[in-house]
A and B are shown apart, each in its own frame.
Chain A
Amino acid sequence: MGLLCSKNRHYTEADAEENSQAAEIERRIEQETKAEKHIQKLLVLGAGESGKSTIFKQIKLLFQTGFDDAELRSYISVIHANIYQTIKILYDGSKEFAQNDADSSKYVLSSENKVIGEKLSEIGSQLDYPCLNRELAHEIETLWKDSAIQETYVRGNELQVPDCAHYFMENLQRLSDANYIPTKEDVLYARVRTTGVVEIQFSPVGKNKKSGEVYRLFDVGGQRNERRKWIHLFEGVTAVIFCAAISDYDQIEDEQKNRMMESKELFDWVLKQPCFEKTSFMLFLNKFDIFETKVLKVPLNVCEWFKDYQPVSTGKQEIEHAYEFVKKKFEELYFQSTAPDRVDRVFKIYRTTALDQKLVKKTFKLVDETLRRRNLFEAGLL
């Protein structure tokens, strides 16, 4: 009998400990679930090279700790890789145009520059790029200044030359310095194709203040193979920031597809997703800086979607007119692709240049206000 009693007592103690552990776990789960509910999930979507990761970097710079020295240094290899890849694309492109184009003579390099070109093309196809030193930088600069390469650069829209090309080529001396540390601007210009998903959590009022919303921002890859991964992120999204590079209206994607058309179809697909029934949409019409230069030289109606565009004037007026036309097209697309039961969801369009930190900060503040107002409306407080 005594043994039985002592056994029961032992059992009760172990049981009680287990119960208290379980209760603690429950409490923590409840706490975390409650915390999770206040975190707003934002997705940055868009076609390849539309500026998603640049927006992502800007958010990190604006609302998180930014980039420390180690992170800045980690971009050196990326920037050097961009330079080698760009010059290779341009050199290979000039060779292709020299062979196939009707007016091939303007794409033919001088014999000395051909030697440099072959060398740099070989470097560009290697797995590991050499560190960009003065000598290599000088060779790249020489090749960049060749008229054949400049002519090829003019047709960069056919070769998918990255937008950072001009910026980096004009700063070669600085970038090849032995003690070079990238600036924030260099980091924003650096082109890294995103694969998979990257996530950060931030609050627009700063982490030290408690009254602001907390956002969890997801950046994704924009190429076709990356898009099939997006579906894993579609649940519980507060807002989608869709980036569309409006300067892409004359850019040719793989298989001769126009990039603006690709962006249009992608936006249409995203709008129709069942998970986004109540999701707010923030459309960032990005790369306005490139757009405003290009639209005066290349007519908007080279893009099939904009074939009914008629220019009205020149200069700034024309830029504004062209921008408003593009904006209207996206608005029309939004309403065509939105079912009647979804018209209540928030839809805003913003003109952005992802490289411009002030503009991005201002834009994001507006986004934040819109989302806070929406939350208050849904809570019945507005």
Chain B
Amino acid sequence: MDPTSTEDGGGVSAVEGTELPASGNAKATPPTESARTLLTRRTIVFSFWAIVLGLGLPHWLWTTSTYRASLPLSTMNDWAEGKACDLRFAFPIRVRVPGWTREEMVELSGSLSALLDHDGSDGLLDFTIHVGNADEEPILPAHGDPALTVVLHAAGSPDTNGVTSRLEPGESALHLGSGLRQAGEIADQIREITSPQQEALAYLLSGTPFAVTEHGVLRATQNTWSEASLDARNTRAFKPSTTYHLSFSLFVPGNEPSAWAIEDALAAYMTPLLDALAGVSNFTVTTQVQLHASFSPSIAGPTFDEASGKWKLRKEDLSGFVNAAEWPLSPSIGEGSTINFVLYVPAPGHSPLVVADTGGTGWLVPQWGGVAILNLDEPTTPRKSTTDTDRTTLSAANLDEIMLTFADQLTALIGLPSSPAGSLALRIAALQRERATALLLSTASTLGALSRLVHKLPNIPIPDTVATSVGTSLRHLDHACQDLRAGRYSNTDTNLGALGNAQAASEASEKAFFEPSMVGQVYFPDEHKVAVYVPLLGPMGVPLVLAGVKELLGWYRGMREKVKRT
């Protein structure tokens, strides 16, 4: 066969001039290629690769990329690590001494603030003292209302005498008797009121990045009893929320009584408490009557104790007393947690029903609600003598004690501090401070978790709404921090206050973290991508790569030979 006759292909036409292989030779070598042919082929391979790398790859990356809005990750981390805010709580105190001159009072306040600042350095509360006899006398506008007003009564005043101190339930004022005149004594009284607050705040901060070592010192001084009580208070209370739904339910095993004077009872016992708590949360109230409520089969049920003549409920059964499967205690609709209050009226045959060990008739279910048992004292009088309404309706008088129990349980369930016992206003103010702190801490940790999540999962998309929510949350966090330091705790017309800002921040951060479109696409497995790409990229990639490698090798050899020749 004549090699020339076959060589008419376009790319390999440059055979002329090359040596024809000797016919007798056993091994022929291909003619060396001309530089032009080589260049053409290399240009072709190069252009293919250029298209793949320059057009295909960016296109592929662009079409398969996920949208990630930019988040202020460093600020989020600062909050999570506790660097963004140095938590201090302003505690403005106003001192009023009726009958004293201004100079005398200024002198007293000077020595007071020196005394209080001395231990304020390792506490969380920043005490500032102002003086003034008249309420309308403005104190510095940077600070909100005074957290505590100290009133020193004159010696002859009929109110207080001697070395007594008194708190008013409705106002945040401390009334001191004429015996307590010394700055040291007054400072002691103030410390006594504020130390539970200091402890509670230190307890909240402990274990979080916001805890500063000096708080640790403060904690070390706490006794174990107060820590245990703080623990108990914390586990009982609901998560801070803007709205609580209170649901009062009457459960009856038979079909009587089927009505209760709940509206009157609520108006008498609950409404004043809820009005006082309005600064902390909103409350909605709903009531229901449920007949034919039976015990859950999982509990042993009450047993009759001959000795006392009472039906006793074992302590183990208390947790299963509320028959969750059958009693309609579904949470209320809308934002917020539902606090359930269950009143159980045992059947006449099972009355009186009490808890075995304590003999009590009410108990609290942590983070769920309260249960109370009402034993109607009727076996002595025959049923016929009572009128129809008496049998079927529980009067407000019947409910008095129950409502007191429920009110007590409610304060525990929303985490109202128990001290200072004398003043509800001071307790609520303390709760506001703790609430704001707890919300601030949880928001900071949520933002930190979101930042870690974004960092760990490079595949998840981040929509713009998340970035907006994070921004809102951070802005409110800043405000909350400033408000805490300035002592603006409660909501006013112009300002949300520390609690309001912390709540807004918490809501926004939760919204960002639980964004549904982010959660939905976290998992897009790599196997799936391989299954789609291999059939296409395999057969196309192999010739491309082989040709590329071959040309690279050829070029490398050529270079080496050139070097050798020279």
Do the two chains belong together in a single complex?
A: no
